[in-house]
Amino acid sequence: MQPDSAIYRARRERVLEQLGDGVMVIATAPEVARNRDTHYPYRHDSYFYWLTGFNEPEAVVVLVGGAAPRHILFCREKNEEREIWDGFRYGPAAAREVFAFDDTFAYDTLDAELPRLLENQPTLAYLIGRDMAWDTQVMGWLNAVRAKARSGVHAPNRMVDARIWLDEMRLVKDGHELALMRRAAEISTGAHRAAMRATRPGGHEYEIEAELLSAFRRGGAEAPAYTSIVASGANACVLHYVFNNRPLRDGDLLLIDAAAEFGSYAADITRTFPVNGRFSAAQKEAYELVLAAQAAAIDAIRPGSHWNSPHEAAVRVLTQGMVDLGLLQGEVDGLIESGGYSRFYMHRTGHWLGMDVHDAGEYKLQGEWRPLVPGMTLTVEPGLYIRPADDVPEAFWNIGIRIEDDVVVTESGCEVLTTPPKTVAEIEAWMNP
């Protein structure tokens, strides 16, 4: 997919307005070896890509602020021999034109060029502490500039974590980003529908994972947005279960937390449904409790509500339901205040979503939950995880349920982007056509 260079140029210009006099340096992610001479599939750094649209490894973007702003890219040289083995490279000349940079340099010239770009600049901004090797490299450039002090050259005396600007900008999605997220949601919704239809007693969790991965690629996704969770029976009570190797047994629930990445933007969906296509009475009671909690949380998402409002709404519904089902004893308010509900619901109700599954952005401002504004995207994912215990009704043992959808805050409320079957009736009808 050919990048729209104007989008990324405009983002860099916004950053330069915030930066003022100074230099920002952001590197992309390195390639990571899997074993010997093979690598994991490459995925660029999200901050770098958000600024550039450039997806090759060994690349750095440099933004020089002040009266004469410059957009600079360092990238790999063209190399016909390596391209025979590894594929196309833009090279500096083509990258300058395609990605709307003022200057481009070969990646191998970083150590020579970066100190020059830092000379007599008051501020250096980068992702401080993300990578120790990168921190060391940055310090080397600073020391190279400091070595010229007797020539009247000074190094930046102020270092700033670039996240203070980039996280806030990434937090509110523009129309381009939302279009990509809607497509990621659409592909992921189709994958969950296919997985439901493929599920039957006697199969295995990994077969359902294969259905998901196949649907992602058929839909045009680059990759899964994260490692798929396909957890049946007691495995559904393990929040980050990823082994996906258990047989699918009649009478069990299957929890699937899986989604695709499209255009470098993630979806994030969880659905829970019966392996045999029919909920038992206890499964239905527990499931409809989680569904009601999710509905309350989604209803709390609107401009002006604070980040924690959906969580508070979900916790209240869940806690009341746990009391009604005999899982907890006591007053609802007291159980919420003491955290008693966390025995069966131990995680938060959502997180920011975007280029990263757990996306950039602070959840509090000056110690207070931040207000929601249009363009913010988040997940809503209440759950209930009931392990066997003497004080737990046996009908609920090993029931693990999570229902998760992706939501964007709108001017009047919110929009749910993900739409696999969700009610008991919808799920049973889809699984039993």
181: tokens are 């997220």
From the CA atom positions of the chain, what is the Rg in Å?
25
CA angle 362, 365, 367 (to 5 degrees): 115
Question: From the DSSP assignment, how many helices (H) and strands (E) are in the chain?
Answer: 13, 21
Active-site pick, 358, 363, 368, 394? 358
Is 405 marked active-site?
Answer: no
Is 37 marked active-site?
Answer: yes
Active-site pick, 45, 177, 404, 406? 404
Active-site pick, 347, 348, 370, 387? 347
Q: Which helix (H) or strand (E) holds 413?
A: none
* Cα–Cα distance, 141 to 126 (Å, whole number): 13
Active-site pick, 89, 96, 246, 402? 402
Contact 428, 279 (CB under 8 A): yes
Active-site pick, 240, 337, 390, 411? 240
* Cα–Cα distance, 83 to 94 (Å, whole number): 15
- Count CB-CB contacts under 10 A for residue 196: 22
Q: Which helix (H) or strand (E) holds 333?
A: helix 332-338
SS3 assignment, position 380? strand
Q: What is the DSSP letter of 31?
A: P
SS3 assignment, position 66? coil
Active-site pick, 209, 268, 405, 406? 268
The type of residue at 176 is H
Q: Is 63 exposed, middle or buried (0-12, 13-18, 19+ CB in 10 A)?
A: buried
Active-site pick, 205, 211, 359, 381? 381
231: tokens are 């957890």
Give the sign of the dihedral formed by CA 201, CA 204, CA 209, CA 212: negative
Active-site pick, 49, 226, 241, 385? 385
121: tokens are 């600049």
Query: 298-331 burial, b for 16+ CB within 10 Å, e for fewer?
Result: bebbbbebbbbbbbebbbbbbbbbbbebebbeee
Is 265 marked active-site?
Answer: no
Contact 161, 138 (CB under 8 A): no
Is 268 marked active-site?
Answer: yes
Is 385 marked active-site?
Answer: yes
Is 257 marked active-site?
Answer: yes
280 phi-psi bin (left φ>0, alpha ψ -120 to 50, beta other): beta
Is 358 marked active-site?
Answer: yes
Active-site pick, 170, 351, 356, 405? 351
Active-site pick, 45, 252, 257, 261? 257
Distances (CA, A) of 208 to 133, 136, 201, 419: 40, 44, 12, 19
Q: What is the DSSP letter of 29?
A: P
Contact 411, 428 (CB under 8 A): no
Active-site pick, 37, 81, 337, 390? 37
Positions annotated as catalytic residues are 37, 240, 257, 268, 347, 351, 358, 381, 385, 402, 404
